[in-house]
Every structure is written in C-alpha cells, then in structure tokens.
C-alpha cells in the first residue's frame, strides 16, 4: 500500500479475515501473561472474538482481582503465571519491561519447541544484552504492537472500530510465525497491521512516548499555559486555550481529515499565524528530537528505564512525580474544566 509515495506492507481485515484468523489459531491456547496496561484489552478482545484465551496473573494481587471482575474464572481461564505458561501454545508476554526481565527465567523454561512468544513492545528482545531475554531457537518470536493504550484498544473494539498496530517477526521457527502474527493482530482488534522490526518498533515507541505522545506535549502545554498566566490570563482561559480546545475540538478534526483540512476550516487569521509559526516550532524542537532519538538508539534510554524501574522505591517516586503534575495549577484547572463539560445527551 502507498503511504505518501512510499510503498509499505500492510495487512487488513479484508484479506486476513477474522474467520480465517480463528481457523489459523483453532488448535492454539493463547496465554496472556500480565493484566496491567495491554493485557485486559487484548485478552478480552480475543475472548470476545472467539479465540481460546487464558490469563496468567499472580494470585492475591490487584490485577488478579481486576481479571476476576472482568469475568475471568480462576481454574477455568485464569491461572497463576507459571501454570498459564505451561498451558499456552502462544505466550503473550504483556508484563512491563521490568516485569518481563524479572519473570523471564519462569517463562523461558516453558518455551518448548513449536510454541510462540508474543510481544507488544520490542524492548526485551532489542536490548537483550541488557534484559537477558534470549528465546530458544525452536520457538516463534513475534510482535503485534497496538498504537495506543490497552484501554483505547478495548474501547474502540466495543465501538466496532479498530486501533492500528505494527507487526514484526523476529524468529520463524515453525514456518507459521507470520500467520500466527496476522491472526493475533486481527484477533486483538487491530484496524490494520503495518510491518516493522522489533528494533524499529522500540526506537519509534520510545521516541514517541518521550516526544509528541507524552513528554513533548506536556512540555508544550506547560510552556504555553505559563506564558498566558504570566500575562494576566485566568487559569480557565489559559487551560481552555492550551488544552481543552486542542483535545476536544481540533484533534478530532485532525484525526478525521488531516492537518491541512483543519487549517483550511479555521479562520484566516488562525491559518496565517499557524502557517507562519509551525516551522519555527519545528526548527526549535528538531535538535531535541534528534538528541532524543540518539539516546534511544544507543540504549541510554533503555538503561535509564531498567535502572529506574528496578529500584525498590520506584513506585513511590513515580507516584510523587505524578502527584506533582496532578496538583499543578494547570491540571487542577483541567479537573474543574472536565467536570463542566456538557453531557453527551446535552447535544441533540
């Protein structure tokens, strides 16, 4: 398929249908290991689509309780992690990167010949000199990475829509790795699947998370909000002009029709200003993005994550940082603004 003049390998649900996907995996037991960020969405979508799915999670944990609340039944399709790994012919390794490192010795011993090890992030394999995650040569090693959170994957699935995903095959030991990958990608509710590699997936993912998806956007929000407040604008005005209009009005238009369409349907004053200033922001941030990508490429970002996430006080420090953001004036204002949004039923 052609994307902006570049041909890419794409798999859609038209040529690789749900029925064909179920036939490909008819004899498989899909063991979803981890029920945190991606696990619930992928597991529930597979289950609702008619695949044979079980969940592996630690007993007496909040995520075990969440799985039970979502309808998974202990002893039937919800098991302790090691038992699920033993039962599964496809092991969907959906723990956090730090969790994957810690649990690898347990998972590794259940990777018998012919099984498939599935990831939704290329981190563990790409940086295996740091993670120690080196699969045996007689199993398929595959990836389907939804371009969004597990929550979004599930929400769009329930709406009858799909979230696009990348796919990759690192190791095809059985000759069935690609069919397994495509079937799982369709089964979890992907809109379409586009080809990548484990390395490219993690490089783009780490760059995106630190860049426009999370890090850069929060930095830009904070800078504009601060500038408006320092010039006498109220918190409500600063927040609405910085976050609310973008997230509630403009981003849906961009998602539906593209940035050029959104520009064309704004006032001439907005058009002129945006066209004059976007290149300035590009030129100002391009060196930052190049530095970021280099830090990802060299493994620096990976090592920072491994070192940070393995500390015993990591969760407490993370919660403190998130609390600082949550209690900032900008996001406290956002909390109030969200409460004032009209209900959907208000718009007839």
C-alpha count within 13 angstroms, C-beta hemisphere, residue 262: 15
Alpha-carbon distance 146 to 167, whole Å? 9
As a whole number of angstroms, the distance between CA 98 and CA 170 comes to 21
Q: Are 66 and 5 in contact (CB under 8 A)?
A: no
* Alpha carbon separation from 79 to 38, 56, 87, 100, 110 (Å, rounded): 18, 5, 10, 18, 15
Tokens 């403009």 sit at which residue?
250
Among candidate residues 293, 93, 139, the one with its CA nearest the CA of residue 205: 293
Count CB-CB contacts under 10 A for residue 284. 9
Let me know if 121 is a catalytic residue.
yes
Q: Confirm if 182 and 11 have CB atoms less than 8 A apart.
A: yes
DSSP percent split of the chain into helix, strand, coil, nearest 5: 55, 15, 30
Provide the CB-side half-sphere exposure for 321 (13 A, CA): 6
The SS3 of residue 168 is: strand
**β-bridge mates for residue 165, sequence order:** 146, 193
Residue linked to tokens 């190791």: 171
Strand blocks (E) in 244-328: none
What are the Cα distances from residue 176, in Å, to 20, 168, 231, 300, 345?
14, 13, 62, 35, 48
Count CB neighbours of 144 within 10 A: 26
**Of these residues, 20, 110, 121, 233, which one is catalytic?**
121
| Residues labelled as active-site residues | 121
């Amino acid at each position: 398929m052609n994307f902006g003049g570049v041909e890419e390998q794409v798999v859609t649900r038209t040529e690789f249908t749900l029925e064909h996907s179920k036939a490909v995996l008819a004899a498989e037991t899909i063991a979803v290991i981890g029920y945190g960020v991606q696990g619930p969405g992928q597991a529930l979508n597979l289950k609702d689509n008619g695949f044979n799915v079980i969940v592996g999670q630690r007993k007496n944990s909040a995520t075990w309780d969440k799985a039970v609340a979502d309808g998974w039944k202990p002893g039937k399709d919800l098991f302790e992690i090691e038992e699920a790994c033993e039962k599964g012919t496809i092991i969907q390794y959906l723990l956090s990167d730090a969790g994957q490192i810690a649990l690898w010795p347990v998972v590794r011993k259940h990777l018998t010949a012919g099984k498939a090890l599935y990831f939704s992030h290329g981190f563990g394999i790409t940086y295996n000199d740091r993670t120690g995650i080196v699969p045996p040569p007689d199993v398929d090693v595959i990836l389907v990475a939804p371009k969004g959170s597990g929550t979004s994957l599930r929400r769009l699935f329930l709406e009858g829509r799909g979230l696009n995903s990348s796919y990759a095959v690192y190791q095809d030991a059985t000759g069935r790795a690609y069919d397994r990958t495509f079937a799982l990608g369709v089964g979890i509710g992907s809109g379409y699947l586009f080809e990548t590699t484990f390395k490219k997936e993690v490089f783009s993912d780490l760059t995106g998370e630190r860049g426009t998806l999370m890090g850069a956007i929060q930095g830009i929000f904070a800078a504009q909000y601060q500038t408006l407040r320092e010039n006498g604008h109220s918190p409500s005005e600063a927040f609405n002009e910085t976050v609310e209009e973008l997230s509630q009005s403009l981003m849906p238009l961009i998602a539906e029709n593209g940035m050029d369409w959104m520009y064309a349907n704004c006032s001439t004053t907005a058009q002129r200003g945006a066209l004059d200033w976007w290149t300035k922001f590009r030129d100002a941030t391009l060196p930052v993005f190049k530095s970021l990508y280099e830090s990802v490429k060299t493994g620096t970002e990976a090592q920072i994550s491994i070192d940070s996430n393995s500390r015993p006080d990591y969760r407490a420090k993370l919660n403190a940082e998130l609390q600082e953001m949550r209690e900032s004036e900008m996001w406290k204002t956002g909390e109030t603004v969200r409460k004032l949004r009209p209900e959907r039923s208000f718009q007839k």
